[in-house]
């Protein structure tokens, strides 16, 4: 009886400790097969702070609000391999910066405070005016859903801008207006739709299973309607899977 009591106590304390890391629930996940069968049950996505703070994020009804500070990320509780992600976002400040990381290790670099993964860029349109290069305004496509391997992660761009992939058409709306991203991630290939049209992609990502991360990068931003549909797994080797983080 004593050993049973100790086991139950250990399980309770361990579970309680894990729950302390969960900041909030936002968005939902479902399985494609159960969705087709009409038996889908939405599972809330649970988010864990990595290196921001509880003051950085606030769930206000159906909207997740980020102050953007301190710079860093929150991560999903679970890792994902093949999936479709849809999310709406809008910047509240001209030139704002943010993004979503997929297949991410959720281990931020000490200097940049950002982790290794594939970033789906979310820059507000005025960013190019505020960050001229050699006195010249950079192409507007730079802010429009750029995809790239961040940190140690590598990808092959569909529409190269150096090692990054830029969108072939600008479809983003400016400050205060909602944008919709649909991100399809399958076996190292990512395709991005912006406001109803696929305009960018990368392939041969060195990470192919990992965490989702939402980024705070110095400017206020809002997210809503975040939905994830898990697809069937593919052939994958250990080198493409990030190390699991024990909550």
Average pLDDT, the chain: 90
Rounded CA Rg of the chain: 19
Q: CA-CA distance, 206 to 209, in Å (whole number)?
A: 10
3-state helix, strand, coil in the chain (%, to 5): 15, 45, 40
The per-residue b/e assignment along 27-47, b for 16 or more CB within 10 angstroms, e otherwise, is bbbebeeeeeeeeeeeeebbb
Predicted pLDDT of residue 44: 96
Query: Is residue 168 reached through a cis peptide bond, with omega within 30 degrees of 0 on the bond before it?
Result: no
Share of the chain above pLDDT 90, in %: 80
The pLDDT of residue 140:
74
The predicted-structure confidence for 55-76, as pLDDT tens digits, reads as follows 999 999 999 999 999 999 999 9
* Average pLDDT, integer, range 22-34: 92
What's the CATH class of domain 24-232?
mainly beta
DSSP string computed for 188-237: TEEEEEETTEEEEEEE--S--BEEEEEEE-SS-EEEEEEEEEEPPP----
Chain segment 207-220, per-residue pLDDT in tens: 999 999 999 999 99
- Among 143, 118, 127, 114, which residue's Cα sits nearest to residue 215? 114
Q: Are 85 and 228 in contact (CB under 8 A)?
A: yes
Q: 127-156, pLDDT tens digit by residue?
A: 999 999 899 988 777 777 999 999 999 999
Residue range 8-21, pLDDT digits in tens: 334 433 433 344 48
> Domain limits of the chain?
24-232
> Confidence class of residue 112 from pLDDT cuts 50, 70 and 90?
very high
Which pLDDT score is estimated for 17?
35
* 2 has a pLDDT exceeding 90: no
Q: What is the mean pLDDT of residues 88-116?
A: 97
Q: How crowded is residue 2: how many other Cβ atoms within 10 Å of its Cβ?
A: 6
Q: How many whole angstroms separate alpha carbon 231 and alpha carbon 241?
A: 16
Contacts of 247 (CB under 8 A, 6+ apart): 18, 21, 22, 48, 77
């Amino acid at each position: 009886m004593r050993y049973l009591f100790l086991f139950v106590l250990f399980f309770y304390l361990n579970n309680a400790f894990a729950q302390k890391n969960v900041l909030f629930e936002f968005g939902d996940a479902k399985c494609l097969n159960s969705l087709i069968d009409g038996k889908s049950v939405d599972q809330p996505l649970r988010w864990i702070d990595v290196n921001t703070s509880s003051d950085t994020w606030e769930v206000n009804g159906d909207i997740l609000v980020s102050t953007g500070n301190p710079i860093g990320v929150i991560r999903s509780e679970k890792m994902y391999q093949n999936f479709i992600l849809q999310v709406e976002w809008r910047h509240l400040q001209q030139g704002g910066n943010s993004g979503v990381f997929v297949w991410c290790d959720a281990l931020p670099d000490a200097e940049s405070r950002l982790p290794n993964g594939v970033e789906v860029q979310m820059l507000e349109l005025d960013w190019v005016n505020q960050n001229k290069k050699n006195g010249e305004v950079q192409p507007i496509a730079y802010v429009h859903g750029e995809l790239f391997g961040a940190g140690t992660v590598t990808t092959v761009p569909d529409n190269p801008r150096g090692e990054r992939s830029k969108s072939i058409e600008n479809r983003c709306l400016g400050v205060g207006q909602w944008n919709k991203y649909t991100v399809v991630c399958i076996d190292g290939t990512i395709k991005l739709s912006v406001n109803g049209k696929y305009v960018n992609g990368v392939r041969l990502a060195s990470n192919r299973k990992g965490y989702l991360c939402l980024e705070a990068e110095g400017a206020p931003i809002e997210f809503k309607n975040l939905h994830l549909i898990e697809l069937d797994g593919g052939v994958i080797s250990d080198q493409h899977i990030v190390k699991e983080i024990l909550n």
